[in-house]
Amino acid sequence: MSFDPTIRPRDHFTAQQGWLNDPNGLIRHEGEHHLFFQHHPAGLVHGPISWGHAVSPDLLTWTELPIAIAATPIAHIWSGSVVHDAANSSGLAPEGQGPLVALYTRFEPATGIQSQCLAHSVDRGLTWQPYAGNPVLDIGSTGFRDPKVFRHGDGWAMVLVLAEERIVQLYRSPDLISWTHHSSFGPEGFVTGAWECPDLVRVPVEDSADTADVLLVSVWDGGPAGGSGMQYVVGQLDDAGFRSTQDAQWVDRGADFYAAISYADGAGPEPVVQAWMSNWQYADQVPASGFRGSMTLARRLSLRRRDGELVLVQRPVVRAGEQVHALVDHDLTGTLALPVAARTCRIVADVEPGSAPVFGLRVRVGDGERTTLTIDVAARTVSLDRTASGTVDVHPAFAAVHTAPLPGGEGPVRLEVVVDVASVEVFVGDGELVLTDQVFPDPGSTGIEVFADGGTAHVHRLDVTV
Ligand code: FRU
Taking the centre of ligand 1 as the mean of its atom positions, its distance from the CA of residue 22, in whole angstroms, is 7
Q: What is the pLDDT of residue 5?
A: 58
Residue 309 has pLDDT above 50, yes or no: yes
What is the tens place of the pLDDT at every residue in 221-265? Answer: 999 999 999 999 999 999 999 999 999 999 999 999 999 999 999
Indicate which residue's Cα is closest to atom 8 of ligand 1.
Answer: 196
Give the pLDDT band (50/70/90) at residue 2: very low
Active-site annotation, residues:
22
**What percent of the chain lies above the pLDDT cut of 70?**
99
Q: Are 70 and 77 in contact (CB under 8 A)?
A: yes
Among 13, 14, 65, smallest CA distance to 298 is for 13
Taking the centre of ligand 1 as the mean of its atom positions, its distance from the CA of residue 79, in whole angstroms, is 6
Q: ω into residue 135 within 30 of 0, thus cis? A: yes
Q: What is the pLDDT of residue 1?
A: 30
Work out the average pLDDT over 47-53. 98
Q: Are 152 and 123 in contact (CB under 8 A)?
A: no
What is the tens place of the pLDDT at every residue in 91-145? Answer: 999 999 999 999 999 999 999 999 999 999 999 999 999 999 999 999 999 999 9
Alpha-carbon torsion, ordered 403, 409, 413, 418, to 10 deg? -50
Dihedral pair phi/psi, residue 105, rounded to 5°: -90, 130
CB 382 less than 6 A from any atom of ligand 1: no
pTM for the full predicted model: 0.97
Atom number of ligand 1 nearest to Cα 218: 1
Radius of gyration of the chain (CA): 22
Using DSSP bridges, classify how beta strands 50-56 and 32-40 pair: parallel, antiparallel or unpaired. antiparallel
Indicate which residue's Cα is closest to atom 6 of ligand 1.
Answer: 78
What is the tens place of the pLDDT at every residue in 136-172? Answer: 999 999 999 999 999 999 999 999 999 999 999 999 9
Among 24, 3, 426, smallest CA distance to 264 is for 24
Give the pLDDT band (50/70/90) at residue 3: very low
Domains detected in the chain:
18-316 (2.115.10.20), 323-465 (2.60.120.560)
Q: CB-based burial of residue 111 (10 Å sphere; 0-12 exposed, 13-18 middle, 19+ buried)?
A: exposed
Indicate which residue's Cα is closest to atom 12 of ligand 1.
Answer: 78
